[in-house]
Amino acid sequence: MSNWQDDAANHLVLNAGPRLAMLTRGEGSYLWDADGNRLLDFLAGIAVTSLGHAHPVFVEAVSRQAATLAHVSNYFATPPQLALAARLKRLAGAGIDGRVFFSNSGAEANEAAFKLARLHGGAEKPRIIALENGFHGRTMGSLAMTAKASMRAPFEPMPGGVEHIPATIEALEAAIDDRVAAVIVEPIQGEAGVVELPEGYLAAARSLTLKHGALLIVDEIQTGAGRTGAWFGFSHEGITPDAITLAKGIGGGFPIGALVTYGAASDLFTPGSHGSTFGGNPLATAVADAVLAEIENAGLVENAARRGEELREIIAGIDSPLIDGIRGRGLLVGVALAAPVAGAVVAAAQERGLIVNAANPETVRIAPALTIGDAELAEFRELFTVALADVSASLTTSGKAPA
């Protein structure tokens, strides 16, 4: 019998590095590996499985729609597609003039946003402003808006016109002018280590983009669908953007992305200007509509806010010299470390039966299902405390412990 690590190395491209485990099934906030070990999942597929694993609503929606209609192409409309578009417009406050473009991923949603910016700007407004440390995807357009040099360098030259500025109001005030087509921001920079924008940034960005005739595009791929304790990250500042991009949690594990437009931005795409063979297929949209309905009906946005506060209190109460701060909102949490040992903490946590993620060497990212309750939080406290202690003891033994 072949070894799964060898199979992964032999059959899969090397873009992701060695896989951490062979996972075979899931239920709620738990996963099981090929050896039968149970793991508490506090990553949720990187903020994706918002209802947890194998939730009855998810399973029923997949089964029902797969037995009815899976794909027809975008020459036609289907009831699930229209129902999901209407729900997203309502939840996002896009109003009667709002419109939705469906894709299959967050990167594709941001690719559509890139083209939306170009359509708005034309030759008169060739500039697109994005933020340093931002992440918007790995396709060429979304990568152009992503600031991480190591991701961009092998694929340069990037599509032109994108400028990256520091995430400060002052830097935006200095950079923006009437030649800017769009400003794109994440409310919380997840891949940068769960870093929140400065207080008042989105409101200032909204004011400045309106003044200069630029679009404000908010990347809600990681922060949307209730993750931050509000339906969307921009909701915390009470603004109305020109467009938002969505993916991850809206599908609960089924691949889907979306661009939601507001007002005049809704008229920029015309027939033939963009498309996707699979985007908005009835299977994906039926599942996403069911997932969002469950988040809404079960009060999971409110649960994310409440449980997020409890999760922060748990982390703050752990007596570990490695913990140097806590960032984020709701159930998107970054634990700042006093040493660049996030990878070691993640490995120790997995060894103990807990899945978390190293967003960077100094930050552990935590993003559990929106359904977590007392039992999951209590188990997290126990497992994370021990994992931190394991790494701290190892550092002490090696003489590398933080002061």
Write out 2-57 in H/E/C secondary structure. Answer: CCHHHHHHHHCCCCCCCCCCCEEEEEECEEEECCCCEEEECCHHHHCCCCCECCHH
Please check whether residue 33 lies inside any domain of the structure: no
Residue 399 covered by a domain:
no
Whether residue 319 lies in the annotated active site: no
Report yes or no on 62 lying in a domain: yes
Single out the residue of 40, 57, 56 nearest to residue 368, CA to CA: 40
Closest CA to 298 of 62, 15, 55: 55
- C-alpha angle 217-178-198 in degrees, rounded to nearest 5: 45
Residue 56, Cβ density class (10 Å: 0-12 exposed, 13-18 middle, ≥19 buried): exposed
Check the annotation: does 221 bind a ligand: yes
* Residue 248 is a catalytic residue: yes
Is 135 marked as binding a ligand?
Answer: yes
Look up the domain containing 105 and give its range.
58-297
Q: How many CA atoms lie within 13 A of 210 on its CB side?
A: 11
Alpha helices for 67-200 (secondary structure H): 79-92, 106-121, 140-145, 149-152, 169-175
What are 219-240's pLDDT values in tens digits? 999 999 999 999 999 999 999 9
Q: DSSP string spanning 166-181?
A: -SSHHHHHHH--TTEE
Please report whether residue 352 resides in a domain: no
For this structure, is 211 an active site residue? Answer: no
Give the residue-averaged pLDDT of 371-389.
Answer: 98
Q: What is the CATH number of the domain that holds 161?
A: 3.40.640.10
Q: Which of 248, 269, 380, 384 is catalytic?
A: 248
Count of helix runs (H) and strand runs (E) in the chain: 13, 17
Average pLDDT in the chain: 96
Looking at the domain assignment, is residue 106 inside a domain? yes
Per-residue pLDDT band for 1 (boundaries 50, 70, 90) equals very low
Give tens-digit pLDDT for 137-182: 999 999 999 998 889 999 999 999 999 999 999 999 999 999 999 9
Count up the domains in the chain and report the number.
1
> 156-174 as b/e, with b when 16 or more CB fall inside 10 Å?
eeeeebbebbebebeebee
Q: Can you tell me whether residue 273 is helix, strand or coil?
A: coil
Residue 220 annotated as lining a ligand binding site: yes
Q: Which of 219, 289, 380, 384 is catalytic?
A: 219
The answer to whether position 283 is within a domain reads yes
Determine whether the annotation assigns residue 276 to a binding site.
yes
pLDDT at 244 over 50: yes
Q: For position 395, what pLDDT does the model report? A: 87
What interhelical angle do 374-398 and 342-352 show, nearest 10? 120
User: Catalytic: which of 101, 135, 269, 384?
Assistant: 135
Is 344 inside a domain boundary? no
199 is in an annotated binding site: no
Q: Looking at the predicted structure, is the pLDDT value of residue 2 above 70?
A: no
- Does some domain include residue 389? no
> What is the value of pTM for the model shown?
0.95
